[in-house]
Chains A and B, each alone.
Chain A
């Protein structure tokens, strides 16, 4: 699914529709309440750029999404009096991904609320575990440096309108007044 077909991209772009759900926005991501929540305090953190799965998302954006998830999880915990929160990424249809747009879920939890975030442990033989470790090692050796954030070009000719903040003076100007 490309960006034009993606219903999540269109939903984010539609400021009127999304204002009903919007909780936080910054230049890279949008955080909104889920239209069909699993529980009280179900928030979706959605990057404005279109990426289908987490592997496509640049590293700094991944870090930023989870940073925001951490803060919103605290906010949910403190304002909605939940007993706990889950932060969840569904990567792939078999993992439960419903929309082809990468997002991070923050879900408020209560005791015995019926949502199952636990699993039945499976018995895995020792031999099989060792094989898995070997299989993974060839791929984990490459994990090392992460992408750095690209520097944004500074617009020198930007003719922004300037408003003074009430009561605050530019400290540079202030220091100029001191010089005899």
Chain B
């Protein structure tokens, strides 16, 4: 639309000057669906809970056409927080099931329309759940067209590059892991939301004037402008609290220290308890020295030192075990010191609950 009325031009200017929060408020006041949810507008409610609200469409594709929307006002899908989105689609699955049983139809369509070109008519994000029957004459069609390999290749490289950026996948690193025989298939990934461009498209309600590419008849795909790379580390407010798991955890070379002893040491340090730390360290030392060949001399030396220090502490078990160990000789000393070490760790872990 190149010729706009003066009022529309004024409106565009007004919208362009608003901040995102003001824009959201402005949309919310004019949003029919927000009015429905708040009760100002009557509608046929089908289901509601704390996160979503479902009504029957008054202009349905088929009888039983449900509109499932979020309670909060979001204009596009990338704005919706992940937990609300997950909840919404689990409810959509349940509603589809309910439709199949209640309406006795043999199919349903679940549709999301993102953007005016995709058929989005309202500024409030919603999911359409449409019951389908054979020969019901609903226009929804997904054609199947042929595509050339070269075009496919082009699309794939562009898309994969962006997808890897979104999910933080490093292709070279993956290849290295594959070569080593380690599976590089990631666990379920989480990533920050993006797409300011789509937001602008929906907010300003302008039609994009760029010419359409001729998809399957042109010799090659038309030149697409370079997409700006999203700077690292941007986390929008909607995603506050989400953990960025794009980095792989660091891995350790060689033998790790005994994890129990390590944990006990760290806990002791955090509590600021130096005495207990000494004990733990000594028991760890004992454990490592037990592995050596020359246990006898070391044990005797340690026991003597322990006797001096442990008198002042409240760890009586330790004292008894140590003294017994020094008097009885080498082999019993081994087992005794191990049991004393275990007693140490048990006592410490019980103190920490």
Contact = CB atoms under 8 A, between A and B. Distances in A.
A and B assemble together:
yes
A115 B143 contact: yes
18 contacts: A26-B189, A36-B147, A63-B87, A70-B85, A72-B163, A75-B159, A79-B158, A84-B118, A84-B119, A93-B106, A109-B118, A110-B117, A119-B61, A121-B59, A124-B63, A133-B56, A162-B251, A169-B250
Contacts of A111: 117, 207-208, 212
A89 B44 CA distance: 24
A118 B63 contact: no
B248 A135 contact: no
Contact of B224 (A63, A81, A113, A136): A81
Contacts of B323: none
Contact of B110 (A37, A76, A89, A120): A89
Interface stretch (B180-188, B298-306, B342-350): B180-188
A84 B134 CA distance: 29
Interface in A152-169: 160-165, 168-169
B94 interface: yes
Interface residues of B, number: 113
Nearest to B253: A164
A96 B89 contact: no
Interface string B141-161: 111111101001001101111
Given A78-B162, A94-B107, 4 more contacts: A93-B106, A105-B142, A132-B103, A172-B266
A177 interface: no
Given A28-B188, A70-B77, A139-B97, A36 B145 contact: yes
Given A92-B108, A122-B63, A83 B227 contact: no
Contacts of B212: 110-113
Contacts of B144: 36-38, 98
B100 interface: yes
B139 A135 contact: no
Contacts of B145: 36-39
Interface stretch (B14-22, B194-202, B287-295): B194-202
B40 to A, nearest CB: 20
Interface in B46-104: 46-47, 49, 54, 56, 59-64, 77-78, 82, 85-87, 89-91, 93-103
A121 B60 contact: yes
Given A36-B147, A118-B119, A143-B94, A132 B64 contact: yes
Interface in A32-49: 33, 36-41, 43
B112 A54 contact: no
Interface string A62-78: 11111100111111111
Given A83-B115, A87-B114, A109-B115, A70 B78 contact: yes
A163 B56 CA distance: 56
Interface in A83-140: 83-98, 105, 107, 109-122, 124, 128-130, 132-133, 135-140
Contact of B147 (A37, A116, A128, A136): A37
- Give 5 closest A-B pairs by Cβ, nearest first: A84-B115, A92-B107, A121-B59, A84-B118, A63-B86
Nearest to A54: B93
B166 A74 contact: yes
B60 A124 contact: yes
A93 B189 contact: no
B12 to A, nearest CB: 19
Nearest to A143: B94
A133 B159 contact: no
B132 interface: yes
B265 A179 contact: yes
A168 B133 CA distance: 58
Nearest to A117: B119
Nearest to B119: A117
Contacts of A78: 162, 194-195, 197, 227
A23 interface: yes
Contacts of B86: 63-64, 66-67
B262 interface: yes
Nearest to B47: A140
Nearest to B192: A71
A162 B248 CA distance: 13
B13 interface: no
A149 B142 CA distance: 33
Nearest to B118: A84
A52 B292 CA distance: 62
Contacts of A113: 117, 212, 215
Contacts of A112: 212
Contacts of A170: 250-252
Contacts of B161: 79
B103 A135 contact: yes
Given A38-B143, A92-B107, A140 B46 contact: yes
Contacts of A142: 94
